[in-house]
Amino acid sequence: MSTPHVGVLALQGDTREHLAALREAGAEVSTVRRLSELERVDALVIPGGESTTMSHLLRELELLEPLRARLAEGMPAYGSCAGMILLASEILDAGAAGREATPLKAIDITVRRNAFGRQVDSFEGDIAFDGLDGPVHAVFIRAPWVERVGPGVQVLGEAAGHVVAVRQGRMLATAFHPEMTGDRRIHKLFVDLLS
């Protein structure tokens, strides 16, 4: 396969950091804010941010259903933090009525939003990550955790007794922000899934 073209959903979050990490991992990259941009990419990264706001913006920009359809057709995706929430099949504590986080149903997991607590409860730590040599330094900011893992979902990492990294086929999700650390191994793992 030629160099994969990976889009980064550019509604909120560390868009530039993900673009840089993916570029360093060997991908061609671009931002995705419109349907035409979504249609041009081979895979998508959904960064952190606020999952209810991102869901609202996906609806407003008429991207929600096209994105859900691309994922259902097998487009690979990686979600960090809010991205993990959106890729889930079920979201607990999804938000206030009319402003809920909307699951894209790409990975068979149930996630709990803000499970580790509020902004002041954010933390960092080293965690073992299945498939990588040595631990990864994980930055958790109002992070979710996985409460249920469906069949076919591989647990890649845990923190404080909770699942915080998963893979299902060519879908990858972490509750933390690897783009903030300079460690490109998780982005490289995702790019390698595309070949």
- pTM for the structure as a whole: 0.95
Residue 49 assigned ligand-binding role: yes
59 is in an annotated binding site: no
Average the pLDDT over 84-107 and give the result: 88
- Tell me if 64 sits within 8 A of 102, measured CB to CB: yes
Percent of the chain scoring above 70 in pLDDT: 95
Instruction: Identify the pLDDT of residue 99.
Output: 75
Residue 137 among the catalytic residues: no
142 vs 124: CA distance, rounded Å: 12
100 in active site: no
Sign of the C-alpha dihedral, residues 154, 158, 163, 164? negative
Q: How confident is the model at residue 115 (pLDDT cuts 50, 70, 90)?
A: confident
Q: Does the annotation flag 51 for ligand binding? A: yes
Per-residue tokens: 17: 């950091």
The residue ranges of every structural domain in the chain are: 5-193
Find the catalytic residue in 17, 18, 56, 177: 177
Domain 5-193 has CATH 3.40.50.880: yes
Nearest to 7 by CA among 67, 82, 64: 67
Whole-number pLDDT of residue 97? 64
Could you confirm whether 158 is annotated as catalytic? no
